[in-house]
Amino acid sequence: MVATGKGGTRSSVLDHRFGEGPPLTVGVEEEYMLVDGESLELVSGVEELLDEAAESDFANQLKPELMQCVLESGTIVCEDIAGAAADLRRMRAWVADRARARGIRLGAAGTHPFSLFEHQKITARDRYRELVEMLQYIARRELVFGMHVHVAVPSPDCCLAVMEGVLIELPVLLAMSANSPFWRGEASGLQSTRAAIFAAFPRSGLPPRFDDYQDYARAVGFMEATGAIGDYTHLWWDVRPHPRFGTLEIRVMDVQTRVEDTAALAAYVQCLVKLLVDRFQAGEPVLSYHRMLMAENKFLAARYGLDAPLMDLAAGKRVKMSARTLARRRLRDLRPIARELGCSSDLHRIDWMLENGTGAERQLMVFNANRDLVEVTREIAEASEAV
């Protein structure tokens, strides 16, 4: 089905799968770094791993990314968080085993602590060559690693409403996931350097506000018709509809070093989406906040992580609260939902993260002991492979 807007502009995003399957199924994508087993520098090893993966059970779940030192994994569609976590563990174990046979280690963090993007090779695929041709330096320096969580939603307009409703939550999600304090061999002063690097991409950050799904379809169709984008997957917002999957995709987070932290954040996202879907289906209005205010909160989250002094937009008061405090407040709403969805134990891990700190804090602690970024990277690899 194809939408036609003003001037006959066609949009493919109405050829969607929203509502075709059970609601609230979940999928998780992670981007891994491939590092040399001795030097811990990034290494171009993705093609050999993909050749081997093509003959495995993960043939459709392991994919290349822009650079040859990056491997992307994606779970199957899972009914619950436990299934997604189990699939991630299986993939990490398979990749780590095959990589070690080639002298390569698997790592998961938002940035590599010291390797340089200038030394990385672009993946030999037309999609990535065209991306570099279009974006030039912006694409070449995009040596960052994220995680994405997909949650199935029941209709196109529900998807747009939930997307609007989730925007206020993105700074807290970024703060909890912050896992990239180093860039090019130096402490950047940010908890999520990845967020700052990726912000240079066009069509990234907070999405525009749309009146409804038809409005979104017209805008995407216009960009497709003019050649501005090839398709909607070139909209790299922090949260976006994924019509082909019938999901809302939350993309703001750094990849997590430990699988249990990935599962915890995925549980948080799944519960949050259900909360907003239930409100939409009950006819409650979607609360919207000024993009400028939410963008400021996002920067503060990237800068300070869980200690970020965020504006408490939901309370409507001119006060600031830490991201840690706002996360704890939201957890009160999500715990009953987690019991309903069967992910209480995964969501409980969020409490541990709030108490013990983020991946970024852990990296900085390891670094401050010996001022050794190789040691930091080695610990990232060991924890990433410990599934």
Gap between the Cα atoms of 347 and 339, Å rounded:
10
Per-residue pLDDT averaged across 356-380, rounded? Answer: 98
The answer to whether 308 touches 175, Cβ cutoff 8 Å, is: yes
Short-list 199, 180, 173, CA closest to 306: 173
- pLDDT of 253 strictly over 90: yes
Spell out the SS3 assignment of the chain.
CCEECHHHCEEHHHCCCCCCCCCCCEEEEEEEEEEECCCCCECCCHHHHHHHHCCCCCCCCEEECCECCEEEEECCCECCHHHHHHHHHHHHHHHHHHHHCCCEEEECCCCCCCCCHHHCCECCCHHHHHHHHHHCHHHHCCCCCEEEEEEECCCHHHHHHHHHHHHHHHHHHHHHHCCECEECCEECCCCEHHHHHHCCCCCEECCCCCCCHHHHHHHHHHHHHHCCCCCHHHCEECEEEECCCCEEEEEEEECCCCHHHHHHHHHHHHHHHHHHHHHHHCCCCCCCCCHHHHHHHHHHHHHHHHHCEEECCCCCCCCEEEHHHHHHHHHHHHHHHHHHHCCHHHHHHHHHHHHHCCHHHHHHHHHHHHCCHHHHHHHHHHHHHCC
- pLDDT of 264 strictly over 90: yes
Residue 5, pLDDT score? 44
Per-residue pLDDT averaged across 181-202, rounded? Answer: 98
- Please report which confidence band the pLDDT of residue 11 belongs to, taking 50, 70 and 90 as the band edges: confident
- pLDDT of 1 strictly over 70: no
C-alpha dist (Å) from residue 100 to 75, 87, 246: 22, 20, 36
Question: How much of the chain, in percent, has pLDDT values that exceed 90?
Answer: 94
- pLDDT of 284 strictly over 80: yes
- pLDDT of 99 strictly over 60: yes
Per-residue pLDDT averaged across 67-90, rounded? Answer: 98
Residue count of the chain? 387
Short-list 88, 104, 86, CA closest to 39: 104
User: Mind listing the pLDDT tens digit for each residue in 20-41?
Assistant: 999 999 999 999 999 999 999 9
- pLDDT of 8 strictly over 70: no
Gap between the Cα atoms of 132 and 140, Å rounded:
7
Average pLDDT for the chain: 95
Per-residue pLDDT averaged across 193-202, rounded? Answer: 97
Question: How much of the chain, in percent, has pLDDT values that exceed 70?
Answer: 97
Gap between the Cα atoms of 231 and 36, Å rounded:
35
Residue 319, pLDDT score? 80
Structure tokens at 165: 């409703």
Residue 102, pLDDT score? 96
User: Mind listing the pLDDT tens digit for each residue in 213-231?
Assistant: 999 999 999 999 999 999 9
- Please report which confidence band the pLDDT of residue 4 belongs to, taking 50, 70 and 90 as the band edges: very low
Residue 317, pLDDT score? 76
Report the CATH number of the 26-385 domain.
3.30.590.20
Residue 315, pLDDT score? 87
